Amino acid sequence: MIVRRTIDKDELKELPKTVFPGRIYVIQSEAETERAVAYLQSRSVIGIDSETRPSFTKGQSHKVALLQISSEECCFLFRLNMTGLTQPLVDLLENPAVIKVGLSLKDDFMMLHKRAPFNQQACIELQEYVRPFGIQDKSLQKIYGILFSEKISKSQRLSNWEADVLTDAQKQYAATDAWACLNIYHLLEELKRTGNYELAPEEEATEKVKVGSDQQ
């Protein structure tokens, strides 16, 4: 497999869209949280992401509304604006036996810490994890496009994550982001294990020089 260093926006637009293929569970009570976390505690690796209601008024901010946690088969959407960050979720985030994979985790945890104190353990930041593979892009969309030749829709990013009922589009968007982090991690682990990849060569500066000389 040739691992490219970057992908441009125009090329990304033309890629086929990917969506989470598994089951999505919306969690909005403490009892549901306990059952969902019991399942997630049995996994060795999970993908995580969060969503916060956007603010369009200067000086106004909101607490994180949704924490999405995905395995390969299921994604749980924890509606923190309804339940808060409960102790079972804190226990999961602090469990060193369960690896949590995400992108821009520092931002996610900063927002989650405003809901409850905890000391996250066993976390993998994909922006750092992709570096040894030569990937220079930082966004989830671009990293996924480079590795899977598919795009992740961002159309729901600025929607209302505190709505009484999440739309199907919101649920699919949220689940796909967390699952995509897990997908990226598993592929990179496989490439690392097998060594079956090579870095794409950097663009040669001589091409730019040639273009410049042709214009003189």
Tell me the C-alpha distance between 128 and 138, whole Å.
9
Q: What separation, in Å, do the N-terminal and C-terminal C-alpha atoms of the chain show?
A: 40
Residue ranges for the chain with pLDDT beneath 50: 204-216
Is 168 inside any structural domain?
yes
Q: How confident is the model at residue 211, as a pLDDT?
A: 47
Is 15 inside any structural domain?
yes
Is 206 inside any structural domain?
no
Q: Which of 12, 46, 216 is nearest to 123 (CA)?
A: 46
Beta bridge partners of 46: 100
How many domains does the chain contain in total?
Answer: 1
Is 214 inside any structural domain?
no
Contacts for 66 with CB less than 8 Å, ≥ 6 apart? 50, 51, 52, 77, 78, 79, 80, 81, 161, 166, 174
The residue range of the domain holding 74 is 2-201
Q: How confident is the model at residue 216, as a pLDDT?
A: 45
Is 84 inside any structural domain?
yes
CA-CA-CA-CA torsion sign (92, 96, 98, 102): positive
For 3, list phi and psi in degrees, rounded to 5.
-95, 115
Tell me the C-alpha distance between 84 and 64, whole Å.
9
CB 180 within 8 Å of CB 126: no
Eight-state DSSP code of residue 17:
B
Q: How confident is the model at residue 203, as a pLDDT?
A: 61
Q: How confident is the model at residue 60, as a pLDDT?
A: 77
Q: How confident is the model at residue 56, as a pLDDT?
A: 66
Q: How confident is the model at residue 155, as a pLDDT?
A: 86
Is 207 inside any structural domain?
no
Is 216 inside any structural domain?
no
Q: How confident is the model at residue 90, as a pLDDT?
A: 98
Tokens representing 112?
Answer: 């989650």
Q: How confident is the model at residue 61, as a pLDDT?
A: 82
Q: Which helix (H) or strand (E) holds 76?
A: strand 74-79
Q: Which of 50, 183, 199 is nearest to 136 (CA)?
A: 199
CA-CA-CA-CA torsion sign (182, 88, 66, 30): positive
Tell me the C-alpha distance between 192 and 195, whole Å.
5
CATH number at residue 134: 3.30.420.10
Q: How confident is the model at residue 140, as a pLDDT?
A: 96
Is 127 inside any structural domain?
yes
